[in-house]
Structure formats: C-alpha cells, structure tokens
Amino acid sequence: MHTIQVLRINHRPFRDKRITTHVALTARAFGSSSILVDQKDENLEETIKKVNKNFGGDFTIESGIDPKKIVSEFKGSVIHLTMYGEPVNKVIPELKACFQNDDMLIVVGASKVPPSYFEKSHYNVSVTNQPISEVSALAILLDRLLDGKELVDNFTGRLRVVPMHKGKRVDWIPDREECLMILKDEGCDERIMNHVIKVAELALKIGKTCNADLGIIEAGSLLHDIGRTKTNGIGHAVEGADILRKKNVSNIIVNIVERHTGAGITREEAVELGLPDRDLVPQTLEEKIVAQADNLVSGSTLITLDQTVENYRRKGLLKAADRIISLQDELNEKCSINIDLLLENTENLRKG
C-alpha cells in the first residue's frame, strides 16, 4: 500500500511551533504516515510522540532534515501545496491516479517558499487561490485525495474519545507499563504477575489472527486477575472490576475482568453463587479471547483444552465445561485458526 508523507519547510521553532504542530496533527489524522520538518525541533517531536502514545497510531516525525535532498531523492510524486497552484478540483483525478501507483510527498511551506520547490514538484496544487491556512489546505487536499476514508477511526491508543451527542468522555485503556504498575500498586505477588503475563502472551497470539483490538486484549489480560489481591474465590473477577472502576479504567477493560471466569457465568448462576445479579458471560471478541486464554493457562504454564475441561468436570462444573468447549469452537471459527494447534506450536505446553 502506498503512503503519504508531509514535508514541512521553513519551520521556525520559536515562531511556528503551534502552527507546525497543527500541520503534523492534521497530517496524522487525515491519513499521512509521517511528517518531515526541516529545522530540528525536539519539543515538536516530543509533542507528536506523546499524541501517538496517548491516542495510538504509528505516525512518525523527523526534524532537522535536508528538504531539498528529500524532494530530489523522493521515489514517487511530489505535490507542492500553494495558493499559486492549479485548483485541487481540477487535478485531483490525476493525483488519485498517481497515488494508486506511487508514494506521495506533500510539501507544505511555513513562509515564502523558494522557487526551486515550484519547479521540482510534479504538481503545484491550490485549495483556493486566496490566502488560506496551510492547516486547512492540507486537510482538504488529503480528504479529497482519500475520499474521506482517512476519517474512519483506526487509532487504538491508551486514550480513546467516545463519540457522544452531548458531553464528553474519554476511555482510558492502560498500556502494558501502566497495567504492570497498577498490579504492583495493588500488591499482586509474583505468582499472579507470572500468570497474567502468560495469559497476555497467549491472548495476543490469538488476537493477532483476527480483527481484534490488541491494546484492549493486552490490558484486559494483564488486569484480569487483579481481584485476587482481595480474594481467590469465585468473586475475584467482580472484586477486580470494582478495583478498576475506582481507578477510572475504561469499562471496556472492566467488563473483560468481570466476565473472564471460565467461559462466563450466567445471571442465574451468579445469583446462586452470591455474585451480583447480572450476566457475567463475555460478549465482545476481546472478552472471549481473554477468557479462553485464561482457561488455557495454569499458573504460568499452557495446558490443553482437554485438561481444562477435565478439571472443570472433576469439580462437577459440567455446564461451565461445555461452555468452555463451545467458546473455543467459536473462536476457532471467528479467527480462522485452531487454538489446539497454536498451543502445540507454543513452548512449555504441559502434556497430560
């Protein structure tokens, strides 16, 4: 798949920091893979890297580069965004055709642009032949070029804005480092830590085979047994969910933790067990993957599905055993894999 890079020239760190930051954020949000900035600006780099960490994506930034060298050596189409260029509506069909075959470099100036960029660019393109912010011009060009496909939210960072008609809400999905810190703060011992890390490893392997959110899977796996700092009984999942709610962790993760036991606990079973009167069966793909990965890890060792089912049946939990079998069948179908074979190809599988 071809990529779009943005080249920011004539950046003045002490004068243009805010506007260049907005150029970078627009490039990131509207489908570009990276931005190159001529003047070295470590603060700008840190700002964009922080945005990536918080909101996700693999957008990159590099400052302190030679812009003329970048343009002359670029293997693809060079587009100079300027009010003096041809109207975007006129050239956009040709630009789309170019993008089908080549990578694209979009040059965005911060002040008066040297004549060489007008001459060496393959296209000089204007959004309007009137003075206009380069931020808005870049957004319009990218949107026309990508037909709005760039606006589909594929970012999966630790902070996720939840679209709302009124008010505002941001979900916190802790990253790996934050999850481990939460576990330590709650007093998780080495046994719990080793277990959740192994569950996360298996869950991520399963998640990578299907269209699952790996950030959610990792956080849910690492935090699923945090309730064992309070109790090792059947209520540890509910206890863990309560702990995370108090820490303002996203309900997406809270639900994984609360519903991970076996292949879930029905409302009727929950009432019989003295748990909250609600359905504790995993619903989302990520919830199901974490639950099943937990079923296939004993301590910090992988075990087979047959061993897991036998353990449940030995305890008289026949319905739970059947649900675990059904859950694995469902994941095998959804992920187009055979989890049994995945386990066989993974080291330290405990044989019966």
Q: What are the angstrom distances between the C-alpha of 222 and each of 6, 286, 343?
A: 37, 13, 19
How far is Cα 336 from Cα 24, in angstroms, rounded to an integer?
38
Check: CB of residue 117 under 8 Å from CB of residue 160.
Answer: no
Q: How many C-beta neighbours within 10 Å does residue 328 have?
A: 21
**pLDDT beyond 80 at 153:** no
The number of C-alpha atoms within 13 Å of 80 and in the hemisphere containing its C-beta is: 24
Least confident segment among 133-147, 216-230, 286-300, 332-346 = 332-346
DSSP string, 258-305: HT-SBTBB-HHHHHHTT--SS-BS--SHHHHHHHHHHHTEETTEEE-H
In the chain, ranges of CATH 1.10.3210 domains:
172-350
Tens digit of pLDDT for each residue in 68-116?
999 999 999 999 999 999 999 999 999 999 999 999 999 999 888 999 9
**Per-residue pLDDT band at 177 (split at 50, 70, 90):** very high
Domain 172-350 belongs to what architecture?
Orthogonal Bundle (1.10)
Q: What is the pLDDT of residue 112?
A: 87
Are the C-beta atoms of 159 and 249 separated by less than 8 Å?
Answer: no
- The first and second tokens of residue 159, run together, are 């902070």
Query: Span 155-170, mean pLDDT?
Result: 90
pLDDT of residue 156: 84
Query: Where does residue 262 fall: left (phi above 0), alpha (psi -120 to 50 degrees), or beta otherwise?
Result: left
The number of residues in the chain equals 352
4-151: in CATH 3.40.1280.10: yes
Distance, CA of 72 to CA of 130 (rounded, Å): 28
Q: What is the mean pLDDT of residues 281-291?
A: 98
Percent of residues, the chain, with pLDDT higher than 90: 88
Strands 76-87, 123-126: pairing is parallel
Distance CA 263, CA 237 (A): 12
91 with 125: CB under 8 angstroms? Answer: yes
Q: Is the pLDDT at 178 greater than 60, yes or no? A: yes
Every domain range in the chain assigned CATH 3.40.1280.10: 4-151
Average pLDDT over the chain, rounded to an integer: 94
From residue 185, alpha-carbon distances to 181, 257, 337 in Å are: 6, 17, 37
- Whole-structure pTM value: 0.83
pLDDT at 348 > cutoff 80:
no
Angle at 254 between CA 251 and CA 260, to 5 degrees: 135
What is the tally of helices (H) and strands (E) in the chain? 16, 11
Q: For residue 345, what pLDDT band results from cuts at 50, 70 and 90? A: confident
Residue 351 clears pLDDT 60, i.e. is over it: no
pLDDT at 1: 67
Q: Which residues of 163-200 are buried (b: 16+ CB within 10 A; e: fewer)?
A: eeeeeeeebbbbbeebbbebbeebebeeebbebbbbbb
pLDDT tops 80 at residue 349: no
Q: Count Cα atoms within 13 angstroms, Cβ side, for 123.
A: 24
